[in-house]
Structures are given as structure tokens and as C-alpha cells.
Structure 1
Amino acid sequence: MSGEGARTTYVLVDGENIDATLGTSILGRRPLPEERPRWDRVLKFATDEWRQPAKGLFFLAAGAELPMSFIQALTALGYTPIPLSGGPNDKVVDIAIQRTLAAIRERAADVMLLSHDGDFLPQLADLCDGRRVGLVGFREFRNAGFTALAERGLEFFDLEYDVGAFKTSLKRIRVIPIQEFEPADFL
């Protein structure tokens, strides 16, 4: 690995995957603006959790026009927006994230990936070489293939419960560790 200066955590956001999982699998509809993750909380979590600077890269598919208000908001929050285009069947976000994960392997850096997509398994496996590697999302929707990487050091973080990225509870159905069970939540 090469690189100089303080170690960095790269926070790679598969924006479409997180949004689709939130909308389709959790809410059953398109999320309202107030139901979307607070992206600044994600960067703060990464910085605090691993006690080093975090650099956010937000990947999104863009059509002919840029969603400028969203791009400006991401930039103001400290992210580098990466709008991508390609052919109608190109998974441009996945391709770009795969290439970025491969490039990170050449740096003295750590990575947190926000996605549930198993397309990143080979690249994350390559990064489990002693550096810190995290997968952030909704634990019940992550690809099962990631579980095997836990023994190689992959850490798992829940976007709602660990990161605290939402203003209100999403009311997800999940297995609740007894020490976290609060009857008032159900009454």
C-alpha cells in the first residue's frame, strides 16, 4: 500500500441501492425527504467510529441532466458526488464502486461501503487484508455472501441502529437483542 499523511476512511455510498432498499423493502413506497438518511451523520459516524478523517464519495446514476440541488447538498455535507452515465443496461454505479474499491487497495486507507449488493464481494474480500473494512446498510437486507467475510475482518454497521442516520424510527421488523428490548416501543 502506498500513500502519505493521516490514514483516511473512504465512505463509498451506493446511493441507488440504499434508496431502493429503503423505499421498496422497508417503506413500501418512495421515501419522503424527511425519511431519507442524514448523510452528514454517516460521515460523522465513520470519523468517530474509526477515529480518523473520513472522505465521502457518493455514487449516483445521472441522466442527461444533473440533479443539481442534490449535488449541491451532498457537496455542502462534505461528500464528493460522482454522477455517472452509461448505456441503458450498464450498472454504472456498481462498475464505478468496484473500480474505486480496487484503487483503494493500493492506498493506506480504510473503507466503509454503504450497500447491500453482492456485486462488491470480490473487491471487499480483497480489502480484508488487515485494514478496516465496514459494510453499512440494513442488516436484514445485506447480501448473505458478506457474512463469510466477517472472519476476515469485515465489520457490519446498521444504518439506522448503529449509525443513527435517520431522524425518526423506520419501524423495521428485526430480531431484537433482549438487552435492547423496550416494551414501550410496542405499547
Structure 2
Amino acid sequence: MARTTYLLVDGENIDATLGVSLLNRRPQPEERPRWNKLLAFAERAWEQPVQGLFFLAVPGELPTSFVQALIAIGYRPVPLSGEGKVVDIAIQRTAEALLERDADVMLVSHDGDFAPQLEQLAEGERRVGVVGFAEFVAGGLRNVEGVELFDLEYDVAAFNSRLPRVRIIPIDEFDPLEFL
């Protein structure tokens, strides 16, 4: 059986970072990541099958059209309800359960609350990655030894248009036309 990458998506964290930190408003549907591109990237990056788990808090009714869209592109939605940070709790529990599996893990979040679980996952032979906007990834995640960092816009190419970001540009990637 082929080794699997588990892609753990904290969609609310990505959406909040996009809205609050980059756009200063609620993102429009066309400004959100193309989640199918993320699945394809994960499969290409580590050259193995990917199981995408998309965690979402559902305080009321299930967002049926969004859930159906996730299923159609290959994710397994994990709709959650309850008190507290249910998405964080579920992702932490999933990461802990993955310690018992011979699988690799990519976390799609900026949230430093997952650092202890990533540290445990990174202790062995498995590959562990974090996907997000590099400048907003919590230091706790960034500093876990052995974790690969992937940028959602620049590495994954998950957006159909450029985002208004300010980042340090390696000179080999500098294109003056982006500024003219």
C-alpha cells in the first residue's frame, strides 16, 4: 500500500488570515483559495496519494453547497459543533491519532496551538509540512525542527489573482514588472 499524506485544513484560520491580515475585509468567493489546487500541490510535492480532511465549525445548519463542493474535489469534510475551538481540538486529536500511522502530514493553518502535535509528528521518519501565508505562520510552527513550510500563494498557487502582500523577495525571484 502506498504511503499517504494527510492534509489537515483549518479553513477558518486561512479565511480569517486572508480577510483580516491581507484584505482587511471578508474575502469574496473568487478571492478564496482554490482548494483543489492545494490537494494537487500536496500530491505533487511529496509524490504520493493525499487524503484531504477539511475541518469546519458549524454552529447551526450544515453549509451544504460548500460541503458538496469539498466532496466533489476530493476532500473529506469534518463538520464540527460544540463549545470552544472545536476545529483546533479536532485537528489536534487527528494529529495525535496520526502518530500511530505510517503517514505524512501537511497542516494548513497559521495557528501555533498545533506546535506540540507537529513536534511529535516530526520526531520520526515522516514528512511534516505547514501550508499558509509564510509571513503569518506562528513562530511555534515555523520553529519545529524538520517541518517544511509551503506558501499558499507562492508555492501552492492556490489563488487565481495576486494578493496584496508585502514579503521579503529573494533577489532571484525579483521581477521589477510587479512594481511598475
Deviation at 1:101, TM superposition (A): 0.2
Contact 1:130-1:153 at 8 Å conserved across structures: no
Contact 1:9-1:54 at 8 Å conserved across structures: yes
1:172 partner amino acid: R
Deviation at 1:153, TM superposition (A): 1.2
Residue of structure 2 in register with 1:186 after alignment = 179
Residue of structure 2 in register with 1:116 after alignment = 110
Matched pairs, number: 179
* CA–CA distance in structure 2, aligned partners of residues 97 and 147 of structure 1: 18
Q: Does 2:15 match 1:19?
A: yes
Residue of structure 1 in register with 2:39 after alignment = 43
Residue of structure 2 in register with 1:158 after alignment = 151
Q: Does 2:168 match 1:172?
A: no
Aligned-pair identity in percent equals 65
* CA–CA distance in structure 1, aligned partners of residues 143 and 58 of structure 2: 33
2:92 partner amino acid: Q
* CA–CA distance in structure 2, aligned partners of residues 96 and 17 of structure 1: 14
Q: Does 2:143 match 1:148?
A: yes
* CA–CA distance in structure 2, aligned partners of residues 104 and 14 of structure 1: 16
Deviation per residue, 1:25-51 (Å, 9 max, x gap): 001100001000000000000000000
* CA–CA distance in structure 2, aligned partners of residues 180 and 6 of structure 1: 35
TM, length-normalised to structure 1: 0.94
Moved over 6 A (4+): none
* CA–CA distance in structure 1, aligned partners of residues 110 and 143 of structure 2: 14
Deviation at 1:147, TM superposition (A): 2.9
* CA–CA distance in structure 1, aligned partners of residues 175 and 164 of structure 2: 13
Match among 3, 6, 9 for residue 7 of structure 1? 3
How well do the aligned residues superpose, as a CA RMSD in angstroms? 0.7
Deviation at 1:63, TM superposition (A): 1.6
* CA–CA distance in structure 2, aligned partners of residues 28 and 20 of structure 1: 10
Residue of structure 2 in register with 1:132 after alignment = 127
Which SS does the other structure have where 2:169 is aligned? coil
2:138 partner amino acid: N
User: Tell me, which stretches of 5 or more residues in structure 2 are unaligned?
Assistant: none
1:125 partner amino acid: E
Contact 1:12-1:59 at 8 Å conserved across structures: yes
1:34 partner amino acid: E
* CA–CA distance in structure 2, aligned partners of residues 79 and 156 of structure 1: 21
Which SS does the other structure have where 2:164 is aligned? coil
